[in-house]
A = this chain, B = another copy of it.
Amino acid sequence: MTEHLDHTLRGSWTPTVGTLPPHAAKWLRDRIGLGDVRTPARAPVVPASALDEAARVALDGVVGPGHVRVDRDSRLGRAGGLSYSDLLRQRGDGDLAVPDAVVLPASPEQVVEVLRTCVEHDVAVVPFGGGTSVVGGVTALRGDKAAVIALDLARLDRLVEVDPVSRLAVLQAGLPAPRAERLLAAHGLTTGHVPQSYERATIGGFAATRSAGQASSGYGRFEDLVQGVRLATPVGEWRLGAAPASAAGPDLRQLVVGSEGAFGVITEVALRVRPRPAVERYEGFVVDGWERGSAVVRDLAQRRVLADVTRLSDVDETEVTLALAGGWKVNALKAYLAARGVRRPCLLVLGWHGASEREVRRRRADAVRGRDLVPLGRSLGEAWRHGRFNGPRQRDALMEIGACVETLETATHWSKLSELRLAVREALVDALGRCVVMCHVSHAYETGASLYFTVLAARDATDPIGQWQVAKAAAAEAVAGLGTISHHHAVGTDHAPYLEAEIGRLGLDVLASVKRALDPTGVLNPGKLLAGGTDPAGLASPGDR
């Protein structure tokens, strides 16, 4: 039944690493001095499991024989996520935190029991779904505990309930997104939630990290989909979601969504679902310059005629996209744009989902009519759709030839968007020197939008992790006061030092107090969300910070 993921595969999660076409390799050599030399990975060090026998036996008693795994491959496969730094560590650069065991419960009830057992045996718990975190969200830190397990939710893979009248579906947390969609498709339904991590990420992970999918403009962010949650905590189970909207106090669902395994383990979510679209249409456009492009996206958002997928690349990202695509078609396109007077082309991909061709045509007309957009046709839009999950594969190929390659993202209100884009860009260029910094908007709201940066440079062979840490810190400093430290990647370990600048000291105190209520001994995901190296469980009193 279960289509288990092979967690021992990293990055692209395909056994074979892709290769770059020759013209792309040449462009990279010219632009950032990247040599086309394979950089060999070393096998990471995997220490012996620190889980003691009593704990192992107790956990075995909860989840059944064979579902507490201490073999090297299982543990290595859950050793961190998919950030550039995680991949470097997996390649033998820097210290890799490896869980002492992988525990696979089969039900929400078993998850509660696993947590109780871990409290009893002083074992830290890292909830593990698809393992696609790019912010250190699943790093196997043990905090002040004796050992740490990866709590792999792969066996919680059921579509529990469908309520077609209310357009609600209850899904278990360990369901990988493609399988969740196949189960829903049997009912003619979809979540519409398609982030770049789609091929591997899980329903629970989406909820735990406040994910946003590529079609968020049409379907909403994941928190907009979540109607109810079932959370296993060390002090028992917590269920929320009596109604679509409520004034019965604060919306506590929004405290669980984004809690990153620090307050509990999400075991089931009730999601708003929609009929699967009969028609999907993707189209490419070009607009002249970032300012004009972002003004178009803003106007679409504020008139509430956004396409379901709306993605605007800046001049640099557009240039790189065209350079890496290469070929005569691109040259013809450039000539065409020059003839149309477009000097600073920015790619705009729009995608509409609908129940009929007529509906999609009408929405397209509402969005495009009377705007200064150069239509490039559907093939470009379809090319984007076809390649939209390829980022990780490309990264694998780039890392193989010695690249420093990573993404980061933020969001802010429209009036600060350009300032924020420039500030982050400048910080990255200052930190990395010769590099390419690309940016796009892929999530737009009436009051603001996201910014997603992709960075490419030659890897520092001596201290590759340090090289990126400096750049990331510079970008985070640039974000502070102008936007959010994360629009959809979450906090994990990597953003935890910057959280106070965003939510204040009182915000940290509130999160810590919620953690104390639900996880009094601090077994849950030490060092994530609430953090600081000195207080990995986030349990220090406010005065200690």
Contacting pair A506 B250 (CB below 8 A): no
B residues less than 8 Å from A504 (CB atoms): 238-240
Contacting pair A491 B223 (CB below 8 A): no
Given that A242-B502, A487-B243, A509-B517 are contacting pairs, would A272 and B210 also be in contact in the complex, using a CB cutoff of 8 Å? no
Q: Considering only CB atoms and an 8 Å cut-off, how many residues of chain A contact the other chain?
A: 81
A399, chain B: closest CB distance, angstroms: 25
Contacting pair B506 A242 (CB below 8 A): no
Given that A243-B448, A243-B484 are contacting pairs, would A503 and B415 also be in contact in the complex, using a CB cutoff of 8 Å? no
Contacting pair A259 B255 (CB below 8 A): no
The chain B residue with its CB closest to the CB of A482 is B242
Which of A240, A251, A260, A511 has the most CB atoms of chain B within a 10 A radius of its CB?
A: A251
The interface-forming segment of A161-169, A378-386, A432-440 is A161-169
Contacting pair B529 A244 (CB below 8 A): no
Contacting pair A411 B447 (CB below 8 A): no
Mark A501-539 against chain B: 1 for CB-CB distance below 8 A, else 0: 011111101111110111000000000010000000000
The chain B residue with its CB closest to the CB of A530 is B249
A493 lies within 8 A of chain B by Cβ: no
Contacting pair A446 B514 (CB below 8 A): no
When the two chains form the complex, which single residue of B167, B258, B445, B512 contacts A250, counting CB atoms closer than 8 Å?
Answer: B258
B residues less than 8 Å from A412 (CB atoms): 242-243
A302 lies within 8 A of chain B by Cβ: yes
B residues less than 8 Å from A503 (CB atoms): 240, 248-249, 252
Mark A476-511 against chain B: 1 for CB-CB distance below 8 A, else 0: 000000011111111100010001001111110111
B residues less than 8 Å from A248 (CB atoms): 258, 484-486, 490-491, 495, 499, 502-503
Q: Could you list 7 A-B pairs, sorted by A, with CB under 8 Å?
A: A242-B484, A243-B483, A243-B487, A248-B495, A251-B257, A252-B503, A272-B446
A190 lies within 8 A of chain B by Cβ: no
A462 lies within 8 A of chain B by Cβ: no
Contacting pair A250 B255 (CB below 8 A): yes
B residues less than 8 Å from A272 (CB atoms): 446-447
Question: How far is it, in angstroms, between the C-alpha of A272 and the C-alpha of B491 when the chains are bound?
Answer: 26
The residues of A with any CB-CB pair to B shorter than 8 Å are 163, 165-168, 209-212, 221, 223, 227, 233, 235-236, 238-240, 242-252, 254-260, 272, 274, 298, 302, 410-416, 443, 445-450, 483-491, 495, 499, 502-507, 509-514, 516-518, 529
Contacting pair B244 A167 (CB below 8 A): no
A224, chain B: closest CB distance, angstroms: 9
When the two chains form the complex, which single residue of B236, B243, B274, B513 contacts A517, counting CB atoms closer than 8 Å?
Answer: B513
Contacting pair A258 B254 (CB below 8 A): no
The chain B residue with its CB closest to the CB of A420 is B243
B residues less than 8 Å from A251 (CB atoms): 210, 223, 254-255, 257-258
Contacting pair B255 A510 (CB below 8 A): yes
The 10 closest A-B pairs by CB, nearest first: A254-B254, A166-B413, A210-B247, A246-B484, A243-B484, A513-B517, A244-B445, A243-B411, A244-B448, A238-B506
